[in-house]
Amino acid sequence: MDNETLQAWVEKISIESFGRPFLHRATFNSRLRSTGGRYFTRSHDIEINPGQLESFGREETEKIIKHELCHYHLHLMKRGYQHRDADFKRLLAQVGGSRFCSALPGQTKRTQPYRYKLICRSCGMEYLRKRKVDPAKYACGKCRGKLFIKMLDIVLEP
């Protein structure tokens, strides 16, 4: 499917589900990784992840388009268009859009392993951290003792 076909599809969904025309651009963006689509508040354009269409088909992609059209129409009507707003939640349920999209195959959430360990000098309590912190700014939550940081097998003294 190309961008022109997507544009026509979004316009059709907008008229059928919302009773309002979609007057801006809808395009595919293959660089989207963690989301099925996005709506731009400044340009009012919509981008859709083509991987969602390839992996999950037209039905799931249509739910993503409805989700983005909820943002679009509510924003233009100057009503609550953000995920947390009651107007958005109500309209999304009414048109049958999806709240979340499915994760693409092979794209599981990447989590960093813990790289740093803060250790209390007094009681030996350990705190795992992904990012480096200044141990002089913190104290042990158990005994209020001083902390030192250990990275992998290297001990870094404050």
Identity of residue 25: R
Cβ atoms of 122 and 146 closer than 8 Å: yes
Cβ atoms of 83 and 31 closer than 8 Å: no
Residue 68 catalytic?
yes
Q: Which two tokens stand for residue 139?
A: 């104290």
CA distance 152 to 158: 16
- Within the chain, strands assigned E span 26-28, 37-39, 46-48, 116-120, 126-129, 147-151, 154-156
Helix residue ranges per DSSP H, 30-101: 50-76, 86-95
Sheet holding 46-48, edge to edge: 26-28, 46-48, 37-39
CA distance 1 to 62: 13
Catalytic residue among 47, 54, 62, 68: 68
- What residues are annotated to the active site? 68
